[in-house]
């Protein structure tokens, strides 16, 4: 099997927790959980992974689907400016339990790692009709 890897630059674009989250600390503002989950997402469909806080990441796909994944372990640095996420997986999917490393962009060295959780599907809330 060929290992596939990907990196996403966080370059200071991470949102502050108070601005990005609803009352549920794992659901971004403007979304609600659908109750549907996936254990894996195809790598080619992942458009962006944005750390929302130390425990939850927003995963968006190129088909505009959105998921929240609750991560486990030392990924505290993921929301810091000038870090990026790096992962290498044995197949063509990113799955629950895969290790993701947080890399310092300037030093190109690891500053933390954690395992990705189940992908919980999100649905956008309807916009207010005011």
Q: What is the pLDDT of residues 101-120, one digit of tens each?
A: 999 999 999 999 999 999 99
Number of neighbours of residue 91 by Cβ within 10 angstroms: 14
pTM of the model: 0.78
Instruction: Give pLDDT tens digits for 2-33.
Output: 333 444 444 333 333 334 444 566 788 899 99
The three-class DSSP label of residue 13 is coil
What the block records as the tokens of 86 is: 């790096």
Domains of the chain, residue spans: 4-124
Q: Is the pLDDT of residue 128 over 90?
A: no
């Amino acid at each position: 099997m060929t290992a596939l890897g990907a990196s996403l630059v966080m370059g200071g674009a991470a949102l502050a927790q108070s601005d990005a989250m609803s009352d549920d600390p794992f659901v971004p503002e403007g979304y609600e959980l659908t109750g549907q989950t996936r254990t894996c997402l195809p790598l080619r469909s992942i458009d962006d992974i944005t750390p929302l806080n130390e425990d939850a990441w927003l995963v968006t796909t190129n088909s505009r689907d959105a998921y929240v994944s609750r991560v486990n372990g030392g990924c505290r640095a993921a929301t810091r400016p000038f870090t990026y996420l790096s992962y290498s997986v044995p197949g063509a999917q990113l799955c629950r339990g895969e290790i993701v490393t947080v890399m310092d962009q300037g030093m190109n060295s690891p500053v933390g790692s954690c395992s990705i959780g189940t992908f919980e599907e999100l649905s956008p809330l309807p916009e207010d009709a005011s």
